[in-house]
Amino acid sequence: MSAIEKFEEILENRHQYAKDWKQRTGGKVTGWLCTYVPVELLYAAGMLPVRILGTHEVQDVTDRYLFPTVCPFSRDALAQGLKGRYDYLDGLTMSRTCSHVQGTFDNWRNYVPIPFSHYIWLPCHRESPRAVPCLRGELLDLKQAIEKFTGVTVSDEDLDKAIELYNTNRRLMRQVYEFRKSDDLPITGAEAMEMVVASQLMDVVEHNKLLEDLLAELPNRKLDREAGLRLMMIGSEMDDIVFVRMLEELGCTVVIDEHCTGSRYFWDDVIPEEDRLGAIARRYITRWPCPAVSSEFNDRGDRIMQHAKDWDTQGVLLYQQKFCDPHEFDIPSLAQNFKELDIPTLVLEFDVTIPFGQFRTRIEAFLEMAELEVF
Ligand code: SF4
């Protein structure tokens, strides 16, 4: 089985993977919401960090817990807990990001049986000189809470090992992304997303091994398809592989992205310091920010535009989960920036399920127009 086939298998059987890991290692599995949870610390404590994801199914189990104007991702995630699909979890953690997913965490904590849960207060003003010390204090609280729950002391050696493993994971995924700069693309956008989502569900040691296999395969890997327009995807949480496959079947390839199941998750390493918790705190404060956490558009905007240039982007899909204010506020500025570069943009809004017919028509029209401008 190739690395990419293995990533796909993990996504389809993610619950069984976590249960088997638990059986195999005797370790604890801790779920996380939003990418500001320090997975290094959970892993250093012998836990398997798994991201809570939805299933893109229509459901009504959350109606009495969350307003219908909460983003579909947050409602879908909570529905998984209420339906018992994560009943193997030993813990649940979240860092303060946006109020929508906060609702998921609070309701899960109150209405879904979970032995351990912990909330990390991520500072709002990440540009403040007090932000790193503040988060460092929060991480110490998390460490002590985990040690009390597991009875295991997390040593500096454990932290060093976990930091090294996750930095390696990020470096290897960035290396895969470098292959997406080529004209003869060896990997599709859907496959790259499977790789990143799998990294949020798997044991990092096992995921690193698969990444090394993939990097050995990519130089000679040929795709039997036309690359078409080189597209960048920017927006909210997105793990809908079926949608990305449909998008690419219409005559384009996603060559770069900016979202939390893409480059935003792994673009920044932890710079090792004597103070390990301080080093982890600094990484999560200074990392590529989610708009739910950063008020400074320019910080993100400049990095996004540089990536668009570096991956020779010819068109951009700006998308948001319905009701997702943080990403919605970004769209006008981003659309204007790309307009100034004559790079066409398409804006799509996602709900729990996708109106494939409607989206297909809009994407086909966009690609037709964009290709006229580009080719
Ligand atoms: S940032 Fe947007 S997509 Fe993410 S949880 Fe908040 S509202 Fe939902």
- The tens digit of pLDDT for each residue in 192-232 reads 999 999 999 999 999 999 999 999 999 999 998 999 999 99
Atom of ligand 1 lying closest to residue 236 CA: 3
Q: Pick from 98, 318, 350 the residue to mutate for probing ligand 1's pocket: most ligand atoms within 8 Å of its CB.
A: 98
For ligand 1, atom 8: residue with the closest CA: 71
Model confidence band, residue 297 (pLDDT cutoffs 50, 70, 90): low
Residue 295 pLDDT: 61
| Domains along the chain with CATH numbers | 28-152 (3.40.50.11890)
Cα(227) to centroid(ligand 1), Å: 30
CA distance 343 to 324: 24
**The predicted structure's pLDDT at residue 31:** 98
Q: Are 160 and 276 in contact (CB under 8 A)?
A: yes
Question: What are the tens digits of pLDDT across the range 45-66?
Answer: 999 999 999 999 988 899 999 9
Instruction: Tell me, using a 6 A CB cutoff, whether residue 237 lines ligand 1.
Output: yes
- In tens, the pLDDT along 223-266 reads 989 999 999 999 999 999 999 999 999 999 999 999 999 999 99
Q: Supply the pLDDT for residue 374.
A: 72
Q: Determine if the pTM surpasses 0.95.
A: yes
Query: Long-range contacts: 282-290, Cβ < 8 Å, 24+?
Result: 282/132, 284/36, 284/38, 284/95, 284/122, 284/135, 285/123, 285/126, 285/131, 285/132, 285/135, 286/126, 288/258, 288/263, 288/264, 289/126, 290/34, 290/35, 290/36, 290/97, 290/260, 290/264, 290/326
Note the pLDDT of residue 60. Answer: 86
Q: What is the pLDDT of residue 296?
A: 65
Over residues 62-84, the mean pLDDT reads: 96
pLDDT above 90 for 294: no
Distance (angstroms) between ligand 1 centre and the Cα of 67 equals 14
Ligand 1 centre distance from Cα of residue 334 (Å): 18
Cα separations (Å) of 226 from 187, 249, 303?
Answer: 12, 10, 28
User: Does ligand 1 have an atom closer than 6 angstroms to the CB of 51?
Assistant: no
Taking only the tens place, the pLDDT of each residue in 137-163 is 999 999 999 999 999 999 999 999 999
Helix (H) or strand (E) holding 140: helix 131-150
Find the mean pLDDT for residues 62-72.
Answer: 95
Q: Note the pLDDT tens digit of each residue in 110-119.
A: 999 999 999 9
Sheet containing 91-95: give its strands across.
47-51, 28-33, 91-95, 116-120
Average pLDDT over residues 287-301: 82
Whether the CB of 253 sits within 6 Å of ligand 1: no
292 Cβ below 6 A of ligand 1: yes
**Among 237, 265, 328, which is best to mutate for testing ligand 1, by the most ligand atoms less than 8 A from CB?**
237
Strand (E) or helix (H) holding 320: strand 315-321
Distance from the CA of 225 to the center of ligand 1, in angstroms? 33
How many angstroms does the Cα of residue 131 sit away from the middle of ligand 1?
Answer: 22
Q: Is the pLDDT of residue 325 over 70?
A: yes
Number of CB atoms found within 10 A of residue 176's CB: 19
Ligand 1 centroid to 101 CA: how many Å? Answer: 6
